[in-house]
Chains A and B, each alone.
Chain A
Amino acid sequence: MENVLHMLKNRGIAFKLIVLVILSSALIFLIIFGFNYYSTRTMIEKNMKESSENIALATVNRIETELRSVQKIPENIAYFLEHTDFTRERLLQVLRIVVENNQEIYGATIAFEPYAFNKKLRQFAPYFYKSKGTIKFEYLADNYEYFNWDWYQIPKELNSPEWSEPYFDEGAGNIIMATYSVPFYRNVGGEKQFMGIVTSDVSLEWLREIVSSINVLETGYGFLISKNGTIVTHPAKDLIMNETIFGVAEERGDTKLREIGRRMIKGESGFVPYKSIVHNKPCWMYYAPIPSSNWSLAVIFPLEEFTEDIGHLNRIVIFLGITGILLLSSAVVLNTRSITKQLREMSKAAERIGTGNLETELPPVKSGDEVGKLASAFHYMRTALKEYIEKLTETTAAKERIESELKIASEIQTGILPKKFPPFPDRTEFDIFATIKPAKEVGGDFYDFFFIDNDHLCFVIADVSGKGIPAALFMAVTRTLMKAVAAPGTTPGELLTKVNEELCIGNESNMFVTVFCGIMNIKTGEVSYTNAGHNPPLIMRKDNDVTWLEGGKNIIAGAVELFAYKTENFILQAGDRLFMYTDGVTEAMNELEDQFTSERLKKEIIDLQAKTIQEIVAGITERVVSFTNGAPQSDDITIMIVEFKG
Chain B
Amino acid sequence: MIKATLESFTEKHTKLIIEILLLIFIILFSHQKASAEVTFKKATFIPQWSPQGQFAGYYVAYEKGIYKKYGIDLTILKGGPDSPPGEYLEKGKADFATIWLSTAIQKRSEGIKLVNIGQVVQRSAMMLVAKKARGINKPRDINGKKVGLWGEEYQIQPRAFFKKYNLKVKTIPQSFSVNLFLRDGVDVASATWYNEYHTIINSGIDPEELTTFFFYDYDLNFPEDGIYTLEKNFKKDPSLCCAFTRASIEGWLYAFDHPDEALEIVLKYMSSAKIPANKIHQKYMLGKMKDIIIPEDAGIPVGMLLKSDFLRVAEEMRVNGFIKEIPEFESFYGKCLTHAEK
Contact = CB atoms under 8 A, between A and B. Distances in A.
Interface of A: 106-107, 109, 127, 129, 131, 138, 140, 143-144, 146-151, 153-154, 157-158, 162, 164-165, 167-172, 177, 179, 199, 201, 227-230, 241-248, 250-251, 258, 261-262, 265
A242 B279 contact: yes
A483 B1 CA distance: 164
B202 A154 contact: no
B239 interface: no
Interface in B156-201: 172-175, 177, 179-180, 182-186, 201
B175 A153 contact: yes
A246 B279 contact: no
A243 B280 CA distance: 8
Contact of B202 (A144, A150, A170, A247): A247
Contacts of B281: 247
Contacts of A246: 201-204
Nearest to B82: A144
A153 B183 contact: no
Contacts of B8: 170
B180 A265 contact: no
Given A247-B202, A247-B280, A157 B3 contact: no
B274 interface: yes
Interface residues of B, number: 35
Nearest to A241: B276
Contacts of B174: 148
Interface string B5-43: 111110000000000000000000000000000000000
A239 to B, nearest CB: 10
A246 B198 CA distance: 10
Contact of A138 (B4, B6, B172, B180): B6
B6 A150 contact: no
Given A157-B185, A246-B202, A143 B172 contact: no
A250 B7 CA distance: 34
Nearest to A228: B203
A43 B284 CA distance: 44
Given A154-B179, A165-B179, A170 B4 contact: yes
Contacts of B278: 242-243, 247
13 contacts: A107-B3, A138-B6, A143-B5, A151-B1, A167-B1, A170-B4, A177-B1, A229-B203, A242-B276, A243-B278, A246-B202, A258-B204, A262-B204
Contacts of A262: 204, 206
Contact of B1 (A201, A241, A244): A201
Nearest to A251: B280
A470 B232 CA distance: 171
B5 A144 contact: yes
Contacts of B204: 228-229, 244-246, 258, 261-262, 265
B202 A167 contact: no
A153 B184 CA distance: 12
Nearest to A164: B1
B259 to A, nearest CB: 14
Closest 7 CB pairs of A and B: A157-B185, A171-B7, A247-B280, A228-B203, A246-B202, A148-B173, A247-B202
B179 A167 contact: no
Given A167-B1, A179-B2, A265-B204, 8 more contacts: A109-B2, A127-B2, A154-B183, A164-B1, A227-B182, A229-B202, A250-B202, A250-B280
A168 B276 contact: yes
Contacts of B284: 250
A148 B175 contact: yes
Contacts of A140: 2, 6
Given A153-B180, A228-B179, A228-B182, A243 B173 contact: no
Nearest to A166: B1
A248 B179 CA distance: 20
B277 interface: yes
Give the interface centre of B7, B180, B183, B277 by most chain A CB atoms within 10 Å. B183
A258 B201 CA distance: 10
Contact of A179 (B1, B180, B183, B202): B1
A238 B183 CA distance: 26
Given A148-B174, A247-B278, A158 B202 contact: no
Give the interface centre of B201, B204, B279 by most chain A CB atoms within 10 Å. B204
Contacts of B172: 153, 157
Contacts of A230: 203
A226 to B, nearest CB: 9
B7 A150 contact: no
B187 to A, nearest CB: 11
A450 B167 CA distance: 169
Contact of B185 (A158, A242, A265): A158
B131 to A, nearest CB: 14
A157 B186 CA distance: 8
Given A143-B6, A149-B1, A244 B202 contact: yes
Give the interface centre of A144, A146, A242 by most chain B CB atoms within 10 Å. A242
A170 B4 CA distance: 6
Contacts of A144: 5
Contacts of B202: 229, 244, 246-247, 250
Nearest to A157: B185
A452 to B, nearest CB: 150
A171 B274 CA distance: 12
A238 B104 CA distance: 38
Contacts of B180: 150, 153-154, 157
B1 A227 contact: no
Nearest to A264: B204
Contact of B4 (A148, A165, A171): A171
A165 B201 CA distance: 16
A138 B3 CA distance: 10
A129 B183 contact: no
Contacts of B186: 157
B190 to A, nearest CB: 12
A228 B318 CA distance: 39
B28 to A, nearest CB: 33
B279 A172 contact: no
A241 B6 CA distance: 20
Given A242-B277, A244-B204, A169 B182 contact: no
B184 A158 contact: yes
Interface in B246-289: 274, 276-281, 284
A230 B178 CA distance: 13
Nearest to A252: B280
A158 B276 CA distance: 27
Contacts of A153: 172-173, 175, 180, 185
A569 B9 CA distance: 179
A483 to B, nearest CB: 143
Contacts of A154: 179-180, 183, 185
Contacts of A265: 203-204
Nearest to A151: B1
B179 A201 contact: no
Contact of B2 (A148, A157, A201, A242): A201
Nearest to A177: B1
Interface string B216-259: 00000000000000000000000000000000000000000000
Interface in B268-321: 274, 276-281, 284
B276 A172 contact: no
Nearest to B185: A157
A148 B1 CA distance: 13
Contacts of A250: 202, 280, 284
B155 to A, nearest CB: 13
Contacts of B7: 170-171
A143 B5 CA distance: 9
A292 to B, nearest CB: 15
Nearest to B5: A144
A150 B177 contact: yes
A131 B11 CA distance: 14
Contacts of A143: 5-6, 9
A355 to B, nearest CB: 95
Nearest to B201: A246
